[in-house]
Chains A and B, each alone.
Chain A
Amino acid sequence: AQSVAQPEDQVNVAEGNPLTVKCTYSVSGNPYLFWYVQYPNRGLQFLLKYITGDNLVKGSYGFEAEFNKSQTSFHLKKPSALVSDSALYFCAVRGYGNKLVFGAGTILRVKS
């Protein structure tokens, strides 16, 4: 079955520092991978996706993610964190039947 794992429940980072939110995947075949962000009391917002092509994918709000096939990872990164980046981040993979399968989520806290 297609699945993703987010090994960290929470990531804390100081404003201005680089951030990484980790995601590993398990799929058969080529993965379609996604990152979404959820702010309090809001729905999920799409950040970026990897389908094919360059391993470094750039997305919204200055975020990027690196697809690493050998490590089966798709970590979300940002060079300089903002307090406003504090939110819940979900990694997802396209599963069977054309639906998204989400990880458990990682809370990102950026402190000033």
Chain B
Amino acid sequence: NAGVMQNPRHLVRRRGQEARLRCSPMKGHSHVYWYRQLPEEGLKFMVYLQKENIIDESGMPKERFSAEFPKEGPSILRIQQVVRGDSAAYFCASSPLGTGAEKLFFGSGTQLSVL
């Protein structure tokens, strides 16, 4: 049973470009969380999704950021017109239905570098 898979591991973008980060949850998991880790800071919650639904996006910046978790395929975190301040490690976590935050499994993260 593969763990939470995130790709790419490293992503380099120039300012103004778009970044797409993918997360495939563990098999059977229907909840996905995205967190951002900035240098010298802890993990900050961004968004919580179920299949085809955004449950909580209170941690998402109002502009340029969006997330989806379609019926088929991975969850996508999309950052449009990236800026240097978007450089961070982005982690995805998944959990089975009914457990939520009590049982999170994390991926290895995507390190986004904006030049």
Contacts and interface: CB of A to CB of B under 8 A. Distances in A.
Contact of A43 (B4, B45, B102): B4
Given A44-B91, A99-B101, A105 B108 contact: no
- Tier of interface size on chain A: 20 to 34
Given A97-B48, A98-B48, A90 B58 contact: no
B109 A99 contact: no
Given A99-B48, A100-B45, A43 B101 contact: no
A74 to B, nearest CB: 15
B4 to A, nearest CB: 7
B106 A94 contact: no
Contacts of A99: 33, 45, 48, 56, 100-101
B55 interface: yes
A90 B101 contact: no
Given A43-B4, A44-B43, A90-B42, A100 B104 contact: yes
Contacts of B63: none
Nearest to B35: A102
A97 B48 CA distance: 9
Contacts of B6: 43
B26 to A, nearest CB: 12
B72 interface: no
A26 interface: no
B107 to A, nearest CB: 5
A101 to B, nearest CB: 7
A102 to B, nearest CB: 4
Interface of B: 4, 6, 33, 35, 41-45, 48, 55-56, 58, 91, 93, 100-109
Interface of A: 32, 36, 41-46, 49, 51, 90, 94-95, 97-105
7 contacts: A41-B109, A43-B4, A43-B109, A44-B106, A90-B43, A95-B45, A98-B56
